[in-house]
A and B are shown apart, each in its own frame.
Chain A
Amino acid sequence: MSQVSVRKVDIAFGSVPVLEQLDLEVAPGEFLVLLGPSGCGKSTLLNAIAGLLDVSRGQVWIGDRNVTWAEPKDRGIAMVFQSYALYPQMTVAQNMGFGLKIAGRPREEVDRRVREAAAMLQLTTLLGRKPAALSGGQRQRVAIGRALVRDVGVFLFDEPLSNLDAQLRNELRVEIKRLHQQLGTTMIYVTHDQIEALTLADRIAVMKDRTIQQLATPEEIYLRPANRFVAGFVGSPAMNFHAGAIEAGKSGPAFRRGELSLPLPDRFRDAGGAVELGIRPEHIVIGTGADALPAAVEMVEPMGAETLVWARVADEPFSLRVEHTVKLRPGDRIDLSFPGENVHVFRAGTGKRL
């Protein structure tokens, strides 16, 4: 049984459709990340689950209840926002307890739960402060604390780390992961940051143009992207892409583009026609194997532990990632091999993985 279930949901703003016929099942205790570029509908989907946006068709289930028409407060959810959305005139403790107070819970219970949540997030010393007297990271912890206090089955995060600087983002990311392991609650997390998605998620739903492009584990998405978009969106530095065609050669299928001819594994034997070839920079290997092709180094970008090398193979540009110990200079000649298991081929036009 799913904890959260979105069934054939349509959402439109006026006459502009934002989500169409969208299905999504989230298992209990799962950490699901909705990943996509801005405008893909990921936040809309989250808001629909929260009840902050009405669906125009379809159903939303949380637990075993159909909550399509239920108010947000009755859905058993808590939410953390990008701008923290703390009530500016209330102290940290009041912020965290406000929902329970409104719900008419006894004071002792509110106090106890606020204290528990505060302890979990190391906020105890800050309980008397107002949001303006907190740093960005502390504010977001308070916002998470406010969600914790609600004691619900589903946590919704709407780009919670996007307003923070890089270092704080890393710290809080770890904190959120720790919380998830500790609490075991279902979490749905919206982000456009693939690092957050890959590090946090049990499963990632990559979204674009109102639909889910791929819903799979981070590993699956990284290793076997379902289409050209997912392949290009996930992974940094970005995958190399070259449009061309698959031709059946003497020694098996090969990818061809101008002078470039790249042998492909046998599984592409029957896939003729126009395609797009993709390979990640970290999967191209220097100077090994009989299939290696000669290349000329054009440019070198040191990135610390690794170096990004731009090279041309048969006049086509490729980028590859090498250890920082590998010293290369523009003009150097090297041999490159493209391991077949890491080569992705997408159908031109549809972008579907072959």
Chain B
Amino acid sequence: MSAGAIVPEGPRPRHFGWARLGIYAFLIVAALFFLFPLYVMVLTSLKPMAEIRMGGLLAWPSDPTVEPWIKAWTSACTGLRCEGLRVGFWNSVIITIPSAVLAILLGMINGYALSFWRVPWANWMFAILMFGTFIPYQVLFYPLVRIASTLGLFGNLGGIVFVQVVFALPVMTLLFRNYYASLPEELFKAARVDGAGFWRTWFSIMLPLSGPMLVVACILKVTNTWNDYILGLIFAGRDNLPMTVQLNNMVNSTLGEREYNMEMAATLLTALVPLVIYFVSGRWFVRGIAAGAVKG
């Protein structure tokens, strides 16, 4: 800009820049990549098989139908039984609720005890617990199966809940430990001066303050449990198989012509619960995975 040639008075003019165009182009292309599978899933699930056989993955359904959805929910075969995914759905619900409640409760108490109380061996326990996040699931499968069957917790609802809680312990503990550690210690000291003991302090002081982390932990745990496949497959037993396992059975045990529309409807149905949680909770979900991610 030559000195004094122009006399700027107003705000700096906004130039249309190629750089900005490039930024938006990149973001939109990326967004299309991320949306593409959802688009394909929804469209395919609404097409009759005749239309799918003609190809045209991206084409709008000319004769939309909800038939595949109904079939996936009520009468699709998942292995030997043909009662649809609703069985798996309810199994998942029944598995998820006690797993989440127990894991969160334990995580909360652990986090509280670890941040405010000086139990001599607690730091060792926490260190090993964190180390546990690095152990691949598969390492523990054999011992877990043996221990669980000894305890009568293999192949039944108790078994899958037990395993779900065990594997969630490290993250839940870490989540609440970090959260409680961020609270002012004076609060705890004040309660101690007032004569409150371990449980009293937790129940009257810490629990009422745990709201935000409870929401985050709940979202995280429910989503994780719902999306689990391998633990449900191994530990839940034939009558309690969660929705993901039933979905995979349904798709992979098909004989004869595959009903892609129904498969996609079933896939969407399985994804529905976490997706609804995601879209409704928004920022809380992000906080959850960010908090879960920031380890050690």
A residues contacting B by CB (< 8 A) are: 54-59, 64-66, 68-70
Contacts of A56 in B (CB 8 A): 10-11
List, in ascending order, chain A residues with CB within 8 A of B19's CB.
Answer: none
Q: Mark B1-26, 1 if CB is under 8 A from A, else 0.
A: 10110111111110000000000000
Q: Are B9 and A69 in contact (CB under 8 A)?
A: no
Interface size on B, residues (CB 8 A): 11
Q: Is the CB of B1 within 8 A of A70?
A: yes
Residues of A within 8 A of B13 (CB): 69
A66 and B4 contacting across the interface, CB-CB below 8 Å: yes
**Nearest chain A CB to B15 CB, angstrom units:** 11
Q: Are B4 and A59 in contact (CB under 8 A)?
A: no
Q: Is the interface of A mostly helix, strand, loop or mixed?
A: loop
Q: B8 contacts which chain A residues (CB < 8 A)?
A: 59, 66, 68-69
Chain A residues near B6 (CB, 8 Å)? 66
Contacts of A65 in B (CB 8 A): 3-4
Q: Which residues of B contact A54 (CB under 8 A)?
A: 11-12
State in angstroms the CA–CA spacing of A218 and B6 once bound together: 37
Please provide the chain B residues from 12 to 51 with a CB less than 8 Å away from any CB of chain A in the complex.
12-13
Q: Could you tell me if A55 and B11 are in contact, using CB atoms closer than 8 angstroms? A: yes
Residues of A contacting B4 with CB < 8 Å?
A: 64-66
Contact A69 B1 (CB under 8 A): yes
Roughly how many angstroms separate A68 CA and B11 CA in the complex, as a whole number?
A: 9
A57 B11 Cβ-Cβ under 8 A: yes
| In the complex, residue of chain B having the shortest beta-carbon distance to the beta carbon of A71 | B1
With a CB–CB cut-off of 8 A, which chain B residues contact A58? 9
Known: A57-B9, A59-B8, A68-B12. 16 other contacts (CB 8 A): A54-B11, A55-B11, A56-B10, A56-B11, A57-B10, A57-B11, A58-B9, A64-B3, A64-B4, A65-B3, A66-B3, A69-B1, A69-B8, A69-B12, A69-B13, A70-B1
Q: List 6 A-B contacts (CB under 8 A).
A: A55-B11, A59-B9, A64-B4, A65-B3, A68-B8, A69-B8
User: Which B residue's beta carbon lies closest to that of A60?
Assistant: B8
For chain B, residues 152 to 203, give those with C-beta under 8 angstroms from any C-beta of chain A.
Answer: none
Q: How far is the CA of A57 from the CA of B11 in the complex (A)?
A: 6
- Listed from nearest, the 4 A-B pairs whose CB atoms lie closest are A68-B8, A65-B3, A54-B12, A56-B11
Question: For the complex, what is the distance from the CA of A69 to the CA of B6, rounded to whole Å?
Answer: 10
Q: What is the bound-complex CA distance between A64 and B13, given in angstroms? A: 22
Kindly report which residue of chain B lies nearest to residue A64, judged by CB atoms: B3
Within 230-284 of B, Cβ neighbours of A (below 8 Å) are at none
**How far is A64 from B1 in the complex, measured between Cα atoms in Å?**
13
